[in-house]
């Protein structure tokens, strides 16, 4: 009997929510299965990550064919184009240096242009400050420094093998991937 009642039940179609949206780009609506624990990136929850993807940019992105493309960067740094290069003699003190160039015209919500100094400040404020609660510092921990060269250029200096070993010796829990 229950099966017959459900079979005969009439379903109503919900109105299309996209028809109520405006094209003024002043707001965004994201539906998630849970509340984001923070909108501060990097974060810990799946919901916060979903929101971050919609509102944040990265230096580079990865397309559906697993190819890198420039997002905030003017181009993708590589050894081939000279924007990435090894510094020092081959060995455990050699490190990789990456030159990032910001695209011109990227602006904050208040209309002020994003500069290389903003990138350095953010890296220092988020990753170097132990009082800032960050879920995962593993990407930032691979760098020993970020330096603003001019308004649109940031140099990222990755850690050397010897630096990685010293970090691991100092804090085995945080740098557990550096033991070898």
pLDDT, tens digit (0-9, with 9 covering 90-100), for 17-64: 555 555 666 676 767 777 777 666 665 567 776 767 666 778 888 889
Whole-number Å distance between alpha carbons of 116 and 155:
9
Which has more pLDDT, 69 or 42?
Answer: 69
Tokens at residue 155, please? 């140099």
CA pseudo-torsion sign 137, 143, 147, 153? negative
Count of other CB atoms within 10 angstroms of residue 139: 9
pLDDT confidence bin for 147, thresholds 50/70/90: very high
Positive or negative: CA dihedral 79, 84, 86, 87 = positive
CA separation for the pair 142, 138 (Å, rounded): 7
Check residues 90 and 170 and name the one with the higher pLDDT: 90
Whether the ω angle into residue 82 lies within 30 degrees of 0, i.e. cis, is no
Q: List the one residue out of 148, 68, 143 whose CA is nearest residue 101.
A: 148
DSSP symbols for 43-63? -SSHHHHHHHHHH---SEEE-
Instruction: Tell me how far apart the alpha carbons of residues 97 and 106 are, in angstroms, rounded to a whole number.
Output: 24
The predicted structure's pLDDT at residue 39: 65
* Domains of the chain and CATH, by start: 74-178 (3.90.76.10)
């Amino acid at each position: 009997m229950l099966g017959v009642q459900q079979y005969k039940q009439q379903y109503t179609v919900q109105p299309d929510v996209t028809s109520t949206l405006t094209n003024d780009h002043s707001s965004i609506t994201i539906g998630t299965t849970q509340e984001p624990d923070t909108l501060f990136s990097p974060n810990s929850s799946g919901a916060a990550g979903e929101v971050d993807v919609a509102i944040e940019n990265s230096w580079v992105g990865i397309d559906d064919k697993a190819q890198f493309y420039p997002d905030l960067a003017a181009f993708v740094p590589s050894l081939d184009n000279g924007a990435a290069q090894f510094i020092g003699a081959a060995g455990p003190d050699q490190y990789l240096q990456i030159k990032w160039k910001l695209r011109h015209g990227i602006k904050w919500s208040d209309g002020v242009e994003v500069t290389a100094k903003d990138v350095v400040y953010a890296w220092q404020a988020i990753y170097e400050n132990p009082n800032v609660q960050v879920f995962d510092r593993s990407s930032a921990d691979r760098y020993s420094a970020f330096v603003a060269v001019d308004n649109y250029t940031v140099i990222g200096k990755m850690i050397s093998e010897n630096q990685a070993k010293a970090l691991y010796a100092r804090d085995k829990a945080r740098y557990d991937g550096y033991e070898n």
